[in-house]
Structure 1
Amino acid sequence: MTTEQSDRPTPPTPASPGPAVRLITVSAAYGAGGSVVAPALAERLGLPFLQRVTTSEGGVAEPGPCDEQLSEEEVKVTPVHRLLAHFTQAMPAGPTQSPPSTHHQDEHLRGHGETGIRRLLAGGGGVILGRAGAVVLGKDRGFHVRLDGPAARRAAQGAVIEGISAEQARERLRAADKARDAYVRRLYRCDPADLALYHLMIDSTAMPLDTVIELIITAARAHEAPVPERSETH
């Protein structure tokens, strides 16, 4: 080796992407950008994506766009709407037919929403949007994120994401927040905005959603990294 060669600086080693992240749940209020952030996380991390609860649970990765607003299928499985539908259907049948018990309906709805989560876990992990994923899995499984923000800013961001007017966005915010809150409270007896459920809470109206995605990836990798042992000094 010549002196010239030995003095040449060694090329830097590419930085490691960090520990593999296998399971992330994203809970998001309307306009907080869950419909943008969650599928982007799945794409960046090379994981299957499971969107908000739908009436067709055919597979682990459910293709198609997500919605900030309540989708038609999401409305059908919201507890309040399901109860009203059952009572309406039962009325013409007379006294010989009655709607299913509340307990039976709750069990059905929980099973419906959790089917996709179980399939995702069986496949090795993924990114889950909604479905009370943090509640179903608990703090010991996965990395749980909550996206929220002031209602006025969420409505403004929702209008941009969905390409609608500010008034339409405010109406959708009221409907989506009420229904998604009812889903978690009714089926799991807890508040979806309870910070104790999550590892990371972000006001996703206070920064670009691209930054939100990077923050989640960084935090999720740090969560997966082993905690170094402290050396004891005497």
Structure 2
Amino acid sequence: MRVVTISATYGTAGSQIGPAVAERLGVPFVDRAIPSAVAQELGCTLEEALACDDRAERGLGRLLSGALRLPTVTFGGVDMYVPGAMPLAPEEYVRRAEHLMRETARAQGGVFLGRAGALVLADHPGALHVRLDAPLKRRVRQTATLAETDEREARRVIDDNDRARAAYWRHFYRADPADPCHYHLVVDSTTIPVPVCVDLIVSASAALD
């Protein structure tokens, strides 16, 4: 069973390439199913799980990067951070998510988008680890075109997402997602068309047999 992890910077079509690769390989595309499954396992709400997820719009990465306000209380006129204020401990969420990813990879294979999959599944036999990245200027242009917005807004969204995902990696894994040492294949998917990127990843996965 094939296993592919994809780390994608914002604006590099990871959400298009991932499902297409999964379909070609005949394995599940594993992305949004993770917070849903963890929420069910822990008996918490999906919103509570998403608050700890690295790909969610208001997930933990945004907190760690300072893009969102940390849980605080006011004491004597001073805002103080309360580590236990979040309804679900982020460390518990990440531990369960890692377990789910490993079990899914072992039982079914899959294409895993985000959540430091290259590190979580680093020891999985035959797993291919892919990084989708590109120069900022091209990512801004592609994001603005696809979202039908201006380049200033596209740059803001990209900066927020880049900081959040990097913060998630640093906090839980003491690693840099941009380090090519974590990957077998690094692809500029703003220059190489999406169908060709899919072909490259599928071919590279087969080559690891």
Give the aligned residue type for 1:77: L
TM-score normalised by length of structure 2: 0.76
Once the two structures are superposed, residues 47-87 of structure 1 have per-residue CA deviations (whole angstroms, 9 ceiling, x without a partner) of 1111168643368xxxxxxxxxx99834223251699433x
User: Kindly tell me: are residues 221 and 110 of structure 1, through their superposed partners in 2, closer, same or farther at Cα, counting changes over 3 Å?
Assistant: same
Separation (CA, whole Å) in 2 of partners of 1:185 and 1:171? 21
Q: Alpha carbon RMSD of aligned pairs, Å?
A: 3.2
Separation (CA, whole Å) in 1 of partners of 2:103 and 2:169? 20
Q: Which runs of 5+ in 1 are unaligned?
A: 1-20, 60-69, 225-234
The question of 1:216 aligning with 2:196 is answered no
User: Kindly tell me: are residues 169 and 117 of structure 1, through their superposed partners in 2, closer, same or farther at Cα, counting changes over 3 Å?
Assistant: same
User: Kindly tell me: are residues 119 and 199 of structure 1, through their superposed partners in 2, closer, same or farther at Cα, counting changes over 3 Å?
Assistant: same
Secondary structure of the structure 2 residue equivalent to 1:100:
helix
User: Kindly tell me: are residues 173 and 52 of structure 1, through their superposed partners in 2, closer, same or farther at Cα, counting changes over 3 Å?
Assistant: farther
Please report how far the alpha carbon of residue 161 of structure 1 lies from its aligned counterpart in structure 2 after TM superposition.
Answer: 3.4
Once the two structures are superposed, residues 12-37 of structure 1 have per-residue CA deviations (whole angstroms, 9 ceiling, x without a partner) of xxxxxxxxx51000001111111110
Secondary structure of the structure 2 residue equivalent to 1:32:
coil
User: Kindly tell me: are residues 199 and 109 of structure 1, through their superposed partners in 2, closer, same or farther at Cα, counting changes over 3 Å?
Assistant: same
Separation (CA, whole Å) in 2 of partners of 1:148 and 1:82? 22
Task: Select which of 135, 142, 154 maps to 2:119.
Answer: 135
Partner in structure 2 of residue 73 of structure 1: 56
Secondary structure of the structure 2 residue equivalent to 1:220:
helix
Please report how far the alpha carbon of residue 203 of structure 1 lies from its aligned counterpart in structure 2 after TM superposition.
Answer: 1.4
Secondary structure of the structure 1 residue equivalent to 2:5:
strand
Please report how far the alpha carbon of residue 219 of structure 1 lies from its aligned counterpart in structure 2 after TM superposition.
Answer: 1.0
- Structure 1 runs (4+) deviating above 6 angstroms are none
Once the two structures are superposed, residues 94-118 of structure 1 have per-residue CA deviations (whole angstroms, 9 ceiling, x without a partner) of 9xx94239xx955224225324413
Judge which range, 178-187 or 139-148, deviates more. 139-148
Separation (CA, whole Å) in 2 of partners of 1:112 and 1:119? 10
Separation (CA, whole Å) in 2 of partners of 1:131 and 1:198? 14
Q: Is the 8 A contact 1:159 1:165 kept in 2?
A: yes
Partner in structure 2 of residue 195 of structure 1: 180
User: Kindly tell me: are residues 98 and 211 of structure 1, through their superposed partners in 2, closer, same or farther at Cα, counting changes over 3 Å?
Assistant: closer
Secondary structure of the structure 1 residue equivalent to 2:131:
strand
Separation (CA, whole Å) in 2 of partners of 1:82 and 1:100? 19
TM-score normalised by length of structure 1: 0.69
The question of 1:33 aligning with 2:33 is answered no
Separation (CA, whole Å) in 1 of partners of 2:98 and 2:148? 31
Please report how far the alpha carbon of residue 159 of structure 1 lies from its aligned counterpart in structure 2 after TM superposition.
Answer: 2.4
